[in-house]
């Protein structure tokens, strides 16, 4: 897994790519979430367009990120979940995460 982060106005965009299976990158992802929360950047989009595959550790990473952001008074949404939609549906997490078909739709949801 790799990820890049950027700001679009006050919205944090985390572009995640590759296979989400845990490891050092997962720790770095959590660190980045905490960093933005401390900077009072509490509107976060996790763009999953380039994610190829995800295991249970990857699901745990997303759940942990969502919990951190919600507990900090923020909002985390997913964008472009097509490739991981089946695992979110099977685990019923599709109902837990606010999700949008595109990054643009996710950005508009914060307006």
22-45 pLDDT tens trace: 889 999 999 999 999 999 999 999
pLDDT score at 66: 98
pLDDT score at 23: 86
Topology, domain 2-34+42-108: Transcription Regulator spoIIAA (3.30.750)
pLDDT score at 14: 98
pLDDT tens for residues 57-97? 999 999 999 999 999 999 999 999 999 999 999 999 999 99
Residue spans of the domains in the chain: they are 2-34+42-108
pTM score, whole prediction:
0.95
Residue 53 to residues 16, 26, 57, 110: CA-CA distances in angstroms? 11, 14, 11, 27
Residue 93 to residues 15, 21, 28: CA-CA distances in angstroms? 20, 17, 23
């Amino acid at each position: 897994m790799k990820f890049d982060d950027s700001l679009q106005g006050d919205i944090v965009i985390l572009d995640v790519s590759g296979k989400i299976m845990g490891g050092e990158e997962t720790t770095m992802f959590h660190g980045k979430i905490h960093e933005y929360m401390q900077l009072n950047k509490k509107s976060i989009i996790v763009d999953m367009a380039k994610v190829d595959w995800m295991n249970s550790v990857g699901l745990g990473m997303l759940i942990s990120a969502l919990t951190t952001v919600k507990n900090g008074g923020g909002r985390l949404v997913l964008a472009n979940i097509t490739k991981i939609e089946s695992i979110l549906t099977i685990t019923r997490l599709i109902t837990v995460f606010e999700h949008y078909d595109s990054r643009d739709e996710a950005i508009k949801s914060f307006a």
